[in-house]
Structure formats: C-alpha cells, structure tokens
Amino acid sequence: MNSSAPWTAALAGHRARTVAAIARKRAASPAPIPNARGRAALRKIADLLDVAALAFETEPPPVVDGAATTRDVPTDARLALADAEREAASHPTIGFPPQFGQYVTQPVLDNDVDLPPSLQPKQPNDIAREADLFSRLFAVHAQLAVCTMEELTDALLEAAFTLHWKLAHLRNALRATATDPVEIPAPATPMALGPAHEEHGPVLSFALARKAPCHVSDDGRTHGADRMVSYQGATIATCEEHEAQAVAKARGLYDALD
C-alpha cells in the first residue's frame, strides 16, 4: 500500500477486498441460487472491487488549501464501485444490495449504510422474518459505523452480506409462491433438478413416474398424487387441487435448510 494514502482510504480499501472475497465465495457456491448468470455477476463485482481497493490503497489524497484531505473517493474507485453496483442491481437474486458501495466508502465519506426497502410481505411468518432480518442488519450497521479494527470489520461485513443473502432468499420465495409452478418433463434423477431450476426458475412441477399419496389427506383418508412440486430441489407429492399448498410446503422445507 502507498504510504501517502490516508488511513481512511486504507480502511476503505480493506473493506473493498473483504467484500470481493465474500462475492467470490458466494460465486463458488454449488447452491441453485445464485445461478450461472448470478455467479458470473458476482465474479465481475469482485474484480471491480479489486480495482476500487487498489485505487484506495495507492492513489495519493487530493490537496485542498495546502492540506491533504482524508474525505475523498479516488476517481478509479468511484467508477469501479458504480459499475459494481449496477451489476448488483441487475442481478437481485445474488444478495448484494444495489447501494452496497456504501459499505466500502463509509470510512472515507462517513456515510450511512441504507437498509434495503421492505419487501412488503403479507403473511405473518414472512413479516416477522423480514423484521428480524432488518433488526439484525441495523445492529450490524451500527457497529460498522464506528469499527476500525480489520478482523472485526471482516466479521461484520460477512454478517451483513449473509443477512442481505437471506433477504434476497425471502424476496425470491415471495415471488415464487405468488406464481404458478413451471411444468417440465420428469427429470431422470434428483440431481437433474438443479439444472432444471437454473433454466426454468425456483418452482417446478412434473408428472410422477410412480404412484404416491398426496401430501394432503381427506379426513384421514389418503388420495393419489399425480405430480411432484419442487422448490429449489425440495419436493412434495401432490394432486392438482392441492398444488398451491404443496408449493408453500416445499418452500418451508427449503427454508428449514437456509
């Protein structure tokens, strides 16, 4: 690092490299979300954050009235962060908020880090889940605002982006349960569901290869299922009448693994 870079820029550069590492780690995840496009976006964001970090670490501060200022974002860093934020905004499922550059610039500009807008959930469980995530994210932001220790900063950024990931998952779930499943041919193996979800979306439906009971019984008496519903690989056998309930139940199974 250039010794002429102010300490605030050094902190911003460290944050940029930490968030880049988070992006690369998420891009390497084998989970259905993010999909291939999302993983490519995360890798691009990480590369742009490397550019921003280098600018913070090496560009000397501007001089104002004969004195170096510590409250300035280098041009290369500003442009790289703007490009990274545009990439995040274009891929909301990756769990990077469109204004995530605020995390990086905070040591330099002393800016707040905004909470994302509410998803406006309707169900009590979803309302409570969003409120809990927002409360935890607010607490992390409060600690980051005054943090100058690198190891603690790393832990707080990891926590913040984990919470953003969970909010993105909740957003995906709310959108998925509000739409009908996409019908696909029955996959040859359970492993084939992953590519099918990547191509067609989070909620799929396909014909059952053999008989199975529906997940809903009639006053204790079972009846047959004619299809399988899959939410990101969590599957529930169902009939046409109870398909919407099966989607919600499959989502519940998937959420339990989150």
Lowest mean pLDDT among 76-80, 91-95, 207-211, 237-241: 207-211
Partnered with residue 224 across adjacent β-strands are 213
Is 2 among the domain residues? no
Sheet containing 203-213: which strands, arranged edge to edge?
182-183, 203-213, 224-231, 234-238
Mean pLDDT computed over every residue of the chain: 88
Is 1 among the domain residues? no
Residue 250, CA distances (Å) to 191, 244, 257 in order: 17, 10, 11
- pTM of full prediction above 0.85: no
Taken in order 175, 179, 182, 187, is the CA torsion positive or negative?
A: positive
Specify the 3-state DSSP secondary structure of 109.
helix
95 and 163 fall within a common domain: yes
* Segment 208-257, tens digit of pLDDT: 888 889 988 777 678 888 999 888 888 889 988 888 888 888 888 887 76
Which of 177, 212, 243 is the endpoint of a domain?
177
State yes or no: pLDDT of 3 exceeds 60. Answer: no
168 and 195 fall within a common domain: no
115 and 22 fall within a common domain: yes
Q: Over the range 136-170, which residues count as b (16 or more CB within 10 Å of their CB) and which as e?
A: ebeebbeebeebeeeeebbebbbbbbbbbbbbbbb
pLDDT score, position 97: 95
Half-sphere exposure for 245 (CA within 13 Å, toward CB): 10
96 and 109 fall within a common domain: yes
What's the structural domain count of the chain?
A: 2
Which of 150, 177, 204 is the endpoint of a domain?
177
70 and 12 fall within a common domain: yes
97 and 153 fall within a common domain: yes
Residue, of 222 and 80, whose pLDDT is higher: 80
Provide the percentage of residues in the chain whose pLDDT is more than 90. 52
In this structure, the chain runs to a length of 258
129 and 207 fall within a common domain: no
Lowest mean pLDDT among 92-101, 195-204, 220-229: 195-204
Which of 159, 177, 195 is the endpoint of a domain?
177
Locate 138 and state its tokens.
């607010």
Instruction: Write the single-letter amino acid at 248.
Output: A
Strand pairing category for 234-238 and 182-183: unpaired
Confidence of residue 23 (pLDDT cuts 50, 70, 90): very high
Q: At what angle do helices 150-177 and 243-256 cross, to 10 degrees?
A: 170
Confidence of residue 5 (pLDDT cuts 50, 70, 90): low
139 and 197 fall within a common domain: no
Rounded average pLDDT over 192-199: 79
Residue of 201, 199, 193, 198 whose CA lies nearest to 175: 201
Cβ(20)–Cβ(46) under 8 Å? yes
Locate 95 and state its tokens.
């769990």
Full domain range(s) for residue 226:
182-256
Cβ(108)–Cβ(13) under 8 Å? no
Cβ(9)–Cβ(61) under 8 Å? yes
88 and 122 fall within a common domain: yes
163 and 196 fall within a common domain: no
State yes or no: pLDDT of 191 exceeds 50. Answer: yes
Residue, of 196 and 117, whose pLDDT is higher: 117
Rounded average pLDDT over 52-57: 96
Rounded average pLDDT over 110-139: 94
pLDDT score, position 107: 96
Rounded average pLDDT over 184-191: 83
